[in-house]
């Protein structure tokens, strides 16, 4: 069985600049900070999005840095054309629970509501995940990796995000966060 490759080139085929560009990894980098306050409605990031073709397969990977308070956290998902399939994972902080200490105060517990403090499970491309916030002024990161398979329609593919719980304190996605996208079939 041969490995997937895009595109299939033929002897004597004329190679245009648009074809060469479509063969290259496309890097989507944030050129400005974006903040969301008091909203749990995921919206596509204005910088981390691109147009993808119908009946295509894309591999993607990237890194974001964000700042969120303990109430707001960060809810992440993907905008993709209708009928798209695939899987992704985000390697980032889980949401933490608060527990009492022996002295009667509270502290951040090392366990999350899911039983671990780093999220690693695979997730359907149409489903979002929540990553924890530390406190305002403390940037944290998430690494992404996944596969997108489009159906008979192309359209926009991009990082969609919001607060997990509405908070008056902004959740911010910072400049230089990025996503690399490569068409593989």
pLDDT in tens, 156-185: 999 999 999 999 999 999 999 999 999 999
CATH number of the domain at 27-183, please?
A: 2.60.120
DSSP state of 21: H
Determine the pLDDT at residue 3.
80
Mean of the pLDDT values across residues 107-121? 55
CA angle 90, 96, 100 (to 5 degrees): 170
User: Can you say whether the dihedral through the CA atoms of 52, 39, 70, 98 is positive or negative?
Assistant: negative
pLDDT computed for residue 106 by the predictor: 45
Model confidence over 78-108: pLDDT tens digits?
999 999 999 999 998 877 544 444 444 444 4
Question: How many angstroms separate the CA atoms of 67 and 138, rounded?
Answer: 6
Give the per-residue pLDDT at 108.
46
Domain ranges, ordered by start, for the chain: 27-183
Q: What is the pLDDT of residue 117?
A: 67
The residue-averaged pLDDT of 4-22 equals 87
Residues 6+ apart with CB under 8 A from 117: 93, 94, 96, 110, 111, 132
Res 98: pLDDT: 47
**What is the tens place of the pLDDT at every residue in 38-69?**
999 999 999 999 999 999 999 999 999 999 98
Q: What is the pLDDT of residue 116?
A: 53
Confidence (pTM) = 0.85
Q: Give the closest residue to 174 by CA, choosing from 27, 25, 36, 59.
A: 36
Q: What is the pLDDT of residue 102?
A: 47
């Amino acid at each position: 069985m041969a490995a997937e490759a895009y595109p299939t080139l033929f002897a004597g085929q004329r190679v245009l600049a648009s074809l060469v560009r479509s063969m290259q990894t496309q890097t989507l980098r944030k050129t400005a900070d974006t903040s969301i306050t008091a909203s749990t409605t995921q919206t596509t990031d204005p910088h981390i999005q691109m147009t993808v073709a119908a009946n295509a397969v894309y591999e993607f990977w990237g890194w974001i840095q964000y700042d969120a308070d303990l109430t707001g956290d960060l809810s992440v998902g993907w905008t993709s054309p209708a009928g798209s399939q695939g899987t992704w994972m985000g390697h980032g902080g889980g949401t933490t629970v608060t527990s009492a200490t022996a002295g009667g105060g509270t502290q951040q517990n090392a366990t999350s509501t899911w039983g671990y403090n780093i999220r690693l499970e695979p997730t359907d491309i149409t489903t979002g995940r929540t990553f924890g916030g530390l406190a305002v002024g403390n940037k944290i990161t998430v690494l992404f990796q996944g596969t997108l398979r489009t159906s008979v329609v192309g359209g926009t593919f991009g990082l969609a995000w919001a607060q997990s719980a509405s908070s008056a304190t902004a959740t911010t996605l910072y400049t230089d966060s990025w996503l690399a996208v490569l068409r593989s079939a």
